[in-house]
Amino acid sequence: MKHFPFFGKLFAALLLAVLPACSGRLPRQAQAVLSQIKAPVFRAVDYPAADFGAVADSLTDCRDAINAAITQCSDEGGGRVVLPEGKVFCKGSINIKSNVNLHIPEGCELVFSADPLDYLPAELTVWEGTEMYNYASFLRADHCNNIAITGKGVINGNARDGFARMRPQRSAQQDTLRQMGIDLVPVRERYFGAHSIMPPNMIEPFGCKNVLIEDVTIHDSPYWVIHPLFCDNVTVRGVTIESFNRNNDGCDPEYTTNVLIENCVFNTGDDAIAIKAGRDQDAWRIGQKTAGIVIRNCKFSSRCNGLCIGSEMAAGVEDVYMYDVQVGSCYSAIYFKSNLDRGGFIRKVWVDNIAVDSVRTAFIRFENNYHGGRGGFHPTRFSDFRISNVHGRKSNECGFYAIGVDGFPIKNVELENIVLEDCATPYTLVNTEDIRFKNVVINGVLFPEVPEDTEAAQLRTD
């Protein structure tokens, strides 16, 4: 091992200087994914929600007016439903329909009610990886084509006075739902209705094709903020999230293909990005992997983790490309997580040009025993990762962490041009295969290309 005490800061400066050039090395597979993603186009016709009775006085319930405008717009071939400037109050879910762009202009704040009963009747969803009937998401589209939510306005979930007070984690109700998924109870019987303590997600296009979410600012979400579910061709662009309730993931594509997340700023109470593909037996039954995900030119800060895949990923996740991203303070910055109930796979992941401030656990982390397991033995298969040009300033626990399972190693992982400073432990490797270091410097030490195995160590989880 060679020591370079000042090499980290020098490399960080060089890394920032070459950020734009590095993206020119984008793999052909990523270029192929990007060629498939096209933002929807709409008729140049506006439907002002005010013409249907919407009043921006912060008191009048505008839900019926907005939904009426959306219905007429869709029935007449599509266009833009434009909300008025001011505070637009909505008691319940807005249902976007095909060929409709819901436009929230600058100066408009769409404020949702805090009463959970306003989000009934229950609708089919996937909650933490298990299908069920639950409260309707706040902005939903059901099996639609060509839909959008755009504009420089604000979407305020108003959840801290309602849904955010619910505590589903480790509850009897959460346990019942998960057992229903394991036992493959018919989905129509997984109905919790008004008794549910499981909050809905904020924005949830369900079974949609050609989706655009652009430029809006989102506050105070009830649960996951943006949850594309069973979708194809999704663009999330220029979105700002400031939402710090429990389980406020930023964007979680699930059972979804061909997704572009770019030019976004997320400050979240949970994972900024968490790519999903269902939980355990329920996901195996559905059998729809998540694939073709591109995340670029974003800034993320989180009270939990930064760029994640999992832990609900049992149907499999592959072909993920993440580059030119800044990650602020968080638990783990680049995190691939599963547990022994999941099965499935995480593979073909390419990560490049990631700048990280500080982490409480690890800059780069692979874990096959994430918390929440129910005693199964279906290890996830991790393979084919290329991670390059990562600079991290400080880790309280570990730099690079990868622990596989006997007989199911984490394999074929290449780290290149990695500089991790001020790490309590440089790396932990257990049950791995074909891990390669190329110019990996941790705590000023240049490590050999074939790193040695280490003793196991347990990191904290979020």
pLDDT tens digits, one per residue of 242-262: 999 999 999 999 999 999 999
Domain that holds residue 357: 2-45+111-133+162-198+232-446
In tens, the pLDDT along 325-335 reads 999 999 999 99
Report the alpha-carbon distance of residue 165 to residue 20 in Å, rounded: 43
Q: How many domains, the chain? A: 1
User: Is the residue at 227 inside a domain?
Assistant: no
pLDDT of residue 372: 63
In tens, the pLDDT along 50-70 reads 999 999 999 999 999 999 999
Instruction: Catalogue the E-assigned strands of 279-380.
Output: 290-302, 307-309, 317-327, 330-337, 345-367
Residue 25's pLDDT band, with cuts at 50, 70 and 90, is confident
pLDDT of residue 458: 86
Q: What is the mean pLDDT of residues 288-301?
A: 98
Whether pTM exceeds 0.85: yes
pLDDT of residue 5: 39
Q: What are phi and psi of 44, to 5 degrees?
A: -85, 60
User: Is the residue at 86 inside a domain?
Assistant: no
Q: Is the pLDDT of residue 1 over 80?
A: no
pLDDT of residue 20: 45
Q: What is the mean pLDDT of residues 289-298?
A: 98
User: Is the residue at 94 inside a domain?
Assistant: no
Q: What is the mean pLDDT of residues 77-102?
A: 98
User: Is the residue at 316 inside a domain?
Assistant: yes
User: Is the residue at 314 inside a domain?
Assistant: yes
The residues, ordered by sequence, that sit 6+ positions from 376 with a Cβ below 8 Å of its Cβ are: 280, 340, 341
pLDDT of residue 460: 82
User: Is the residue at 340 inside a domain?
Assistant: yes
In tens, the pLDDT along 332-376 reads 999 999 999 999 999 999 999 999 999 999 999 999 988 767 789
User: Is the residue at 457 inside a domain?
Assistant: no
Helix (H) or strand (E) holding 436: strand 432-442
pLDDT of residue 9: 47
User: Is the residue at 102 inside a domain?
Assistant: no
Q: Is the pLDDT of residue 12 over 90?
A: no
Arithmetic mean of pLDDT over the chain: 94
Domain containing residue 14: CATH number: 2.160.20.10
- Tell me which of 369 and 163 has the higher pLDDT: 163
